[in-house]
Amino acid sequence: MALLEVEDLDVRFYTEEGVVQAVDGLSYTLDRGERLGVVGESGAGKTVTALALLDLLDRPGRIEGGSIRFDGEEVLDAPAERLRRLRGGEIGMVFQDPETALNPVYTVGEQVAEAVRVHTDREGAAAHDRAVALLDRVGIPDPATRATQYPHEFSGGMAQRVVVAMALAGDPDLLIADEPTTGLDVTIEAQLLDLLDDLAADDLAVQLVSHDLGVVAGFCDRVLVMYAGQAVERAPVDDLFYHPKHPYTAGLLSAIPRIGDDRDRLATIPGTTPDLASPPPGCRFHPRCPYAEDACTKRDPPLAGVDEVQPTGASVAGDIADDAGDHRAACLAYVDDADFDGALEFAVEVAADATEDDEEADP
């Protein structure tokens, strides 16, 4: 049984413009010590999913259906007391914008010690010492004095390290990182990813949410691609990068600027993410999919296994029992009974080494 099992998650936002289906029937699993990357454009529902895991959504968002089982125990109907022990205890969370994630009027030491006090039986000075140790563990120099300082005296990178320290206070089994490095510049980003890498080494499962494929490629074991609130592709990381199955994933990969790339314009996916208040019929990607056919506009493809063509009717969407190697994509091309006769003519070409790339002409 996996550490985290999310099944058919349904989250909606009740806004002035109508009900926004932010997450629509999402299912995935995460094993102990495993690193899952959740990628997708902005508005795909990556953050909402992360927040839903700890039931941190507040008005006007609400979890309408599905179940989230952590270590076999259902989170959604957990009593408040149990939920509190879960938050920061077994599941730690790191947020995107370190500057605003910390309370400006309390010292950093106090904010970390507070987490320690909640999840361990340490109090007072013992809790403070543990906090300083945690600050040291996350690589903050001279942690004792830094603990007495306030968040505005910390740089972006250092502040994020404090948030990580806070997340580790309860010695969690799972760390959810919601675009932890997006706000940081590249060099700091790399150091932070090294830190996460180091932390994940001792059996800490990590769900890294990001819109940066490079970060995911360097850190995760498996990747979940989300589009407009749905999972469109799920695969081990190298399968995904070298054998993308879903047109959207291919589009994402082609949109990465590469050093030495001599094309005058970046390849982009035309159009924008759909308005989740009134999503397009059928496959939500069809308006932007170059291979879209009439069928695509009628039927919302399930997450079908890509290796062997699935017999019709195998409702794979609900099927979460995937093993590490499983590779699925939500596209009619992989559903045999769909009258999808075209072919997805895209492939990934591997350049032997960096130098050879340069002089290659664009086709």
Partner 1 sequence: MSLRRYVLRRTLLTLPILFGVSVLTFGLVKLLPGTPVDYVLQFQDATPELRASLRAQYHLDEPIWRQYLLWLNDVLHLDFGDRVVSDRSVRAAIVDRLPETLVLGGFAFLIALLVGVPTGVVAAVRRGTLLDEGSRVVALAGIATPNFWLGLLLILVFGVHLNLVPVIPPVAPVFAPESLAFLVLPAVTLGTASAALFTRLTRSAVTEQLRQEYVRTARAKGLDERTVIVKHVLRNSLVSVVTVAAVQVAFLLDGAVVIERVFSWPGLGRLLVRAILQRDFPVVQAVVLLVAVAVVVANLLADVLYAWLDPRIAY
Partner 2 sequence: MSRNPLDGRGRLRVRGFGSHEADDDASAGTATVDADATPSPTTDRWRRAWARFRRDRAAVAGLAVIAVMTLLAVFARPIEVGGVVVQPVALAPYDPSASGIAPAYRPPSLAHPFGTDWAGRDVFSRVLYGGRYSLSIGVIAVGLALLVGVPLGAVAGYAGGWVDETVMRLVDVLYAFPFLVLAIALVAVFGQGFWKLVGALVAVGWISYARLIRGEVLSVSERDYVLAARALGASDGRILRRHVVPNAIAPVIVQATLNVGTVVLSAAALGFLGLGLEPGTAEWGSMLSAGRDTLVGGEWWVTVFPGLAIFLFVLSINLVGDGVRDALDPDADTDRYRTREAR
The span of 11-19, 81-89, 217-225, 286-294 binding partner 1 (CB under 8 A) equals: 81-89
139, 153 contact by CB (below 8 A): no
Candidate list 43, 66, 170, 172; residue touching partner 2; CB under 8 A: 43
Q: What backbone torsions phi and psi does residue 247 show, to the nearest 5 degrees?
A: -50, -35
303, 321 contact by CB (below 8 A): no
Q: Which helix (H) or strand (E) holds 9?
A: strand 4-15
Which of partner 2, partner 1, none does residue 168 bind (CB under 5 to 8 Å by kind)?
none
What is the number of residues in the chain?
A: 363
User: Which of 278, 280, 233 is closest to 253 using CA atoms?
Assistant: 233
Closest distance to partner 1 from the beta carbon of 151 (Å): 8
The count of residues interacting with partner 1 (CB under 8 A) is 32
Closest distance to partner 2 from the beta carbon of 187 (Å): 14
Which of partner 1, partner 2, none does residue 302 bind (CB under 5 to 8 Å by kind)?
none
> If binding is defined by CB under 8 A, does position 105 make contact with partner 1?
yes
Which of partner 2, partner 1, none does residue 169 bind (CB under 5 to 8 Å by kind)?
partner 1
Structure tokens at 155: 């740089």
> If binding is defined by CB under 8 A, does position 194 make contact with partner 2?
yes
Q: Which residues contact 94 (CB under 8 A, 6 or more apart)?
A: 160, 163, 164, 167, 175, 176, 177, 178, 180
Round to whole Å and give the CA distance between 156 and 141.
Answer: 15
Secondary structure (H, E, C), 223-275: EEEEECCEEEEEEEHHHHHHCCCCHHHHHHHHCCCCCCCCCCCCCCCCCCCCC
The span of 2-10, 71-79, 218-226, 318-326 binding partner 2 (CB under 8 A) equals: 218-226
Candidate list 4, 36, 48, 93; residue touching partner 1; CB under 8 A: 93
Candidate list 35, 69, 87, 284; residue touching partner 1; CB under 8 A: 87
> If binding is defined by CB under 8 A, does position 152 make contact with partner 1?
yes
Candidate list 77, 81, 202, 349; residue touching partner 2; CB under 8 A: 349
Q: Which residues contact 29 (CB under 8 A, 6 or more apart)?
A: 2, 4, 5, 6, 320, 322
The span of 13-21, 133-141, 158-166, 324-332 binding partner 2 (CB under 8 A) equals: 13-21
114, 99 contact by CB (below 8 A): no
Round to whole Å and give the CA distance between 120 and 169.
Answer: 8
> Mask of contacts with partner 1, 322-351, x by CB under 8 A?
------------------------------
Which of partner 2, partner 1, none does residue 87 bind (CB under 5 to 8 Å by kind)?
partner 1
Closest distance to partner 1 from the beta carbon of 114 (Å): 7
> Mask of contacts with partner 2, 49-68, x by CB under 8 A?
----------xxx-------
> Mask of contacts with partner 1, 216-255, x by CB under 8 A?
----------------------------------------
Residue type, 172: P
6, β-bridge pairs: 28, 68
Structure tokens at 276: 């989740």
Q: Which helix (H) or strand (E) holds 80?
A: helix 80-86
62, 15 contact by CB (below 8 A): no
Round to whole Å and give the CA distance between 217 and 67.
Answer: 28
Binding site for partner 2 (CB under 8 A): 13, 15-16, 20, 42-43, 47-48, 59-61, 193-194, 197, 217-219, 221, 237-238, 241-242, 244, 247, 250-251, 253-254, 258, 267, 270-272, 274, 280, 286-292, 297, 345-354, 357, 363
